[in-house]
A = this chain, B = another copy of it.
């Protein structure tokens, strides 16, 4: 995600920037409202994080100017003021959310991501990618190294779930609930069998395997 931070306090800005980058986003920085307006007009950002009080042009004026241009990029306003009236003022100026200093970075991150999600109704991911393995949810196809792989419906659901949680361990209980809709332990080895079948299709024909067993815990899909 591309995020523009408009904040005159360089220290605060670099702190936010660093945190956003660590969470996998691209973050630019403008030092005041005028510069921020210019940058926001020049490039497409997914979210703007705007300090309320700044030299030259304050945050609210900047947002108002942007909205006058018909730019609807979501804006999170940062402010040291916390009164209800200030909050209302901030939202009236065109802000989409309002965060009062001091705030925890985790909260800023959560709000920024919420704003972005709100914009395009939860960014319907239609393609999943893990390493050289790709799944197209609409076409219901799976490809690895350019080779088409045919999966049975249950195998497809299983792989979809694993791909959506790639890098994380997925437990047997999670699989039973999310892939089989079982809410009890069937006392059989259904999972083992399907994992085995899936492996024979997505891993066996290729040099590097993606589906790893984490003994005592579950399975992990990882490049």
Contacts and interface: CB of A to CB of B under 8 A. Distances in A.
A104 B119 contact: yes
A217 B122 CA distance: 24
The copy count of this chain in the complex is 2
B102 A91 contact: yes
10 contacts: A11-B92, A103-B118, A104-B119, A104-B120, A107-B118, A107-B121, A138-B168, A139-B168, A152-B215, A152-B216
A197 interface: no
Contacts of A156: 216-217
B123 A106 contact: yes
A169 interface: yes
A199 interface: no
A47 to B, nearest CB: 11
Contacts of A169: 138-140
A103 B114 CA distance: 11
Contact of A119 (B95, B96, B106): B106
A72 interface: yes
A110 interface: yes
B102 A140 contact: no
Contacts of A115: 104
A74 interface: yes
Contacts of A216: 152-154, 156
A215 B153 contact: yes
Interface string A154-190: 1010000000000111000000000000000000000
Contacts of A107: 118-121
B153 A217 contact: yes
A105 interface: yes
A17 interface: no
Given A139-B169, A140-B214, A152-B216, A102 B97 contact: yes
Contacts of A95: 102
B104 A74 contact: yes
Interface in A42-68: none
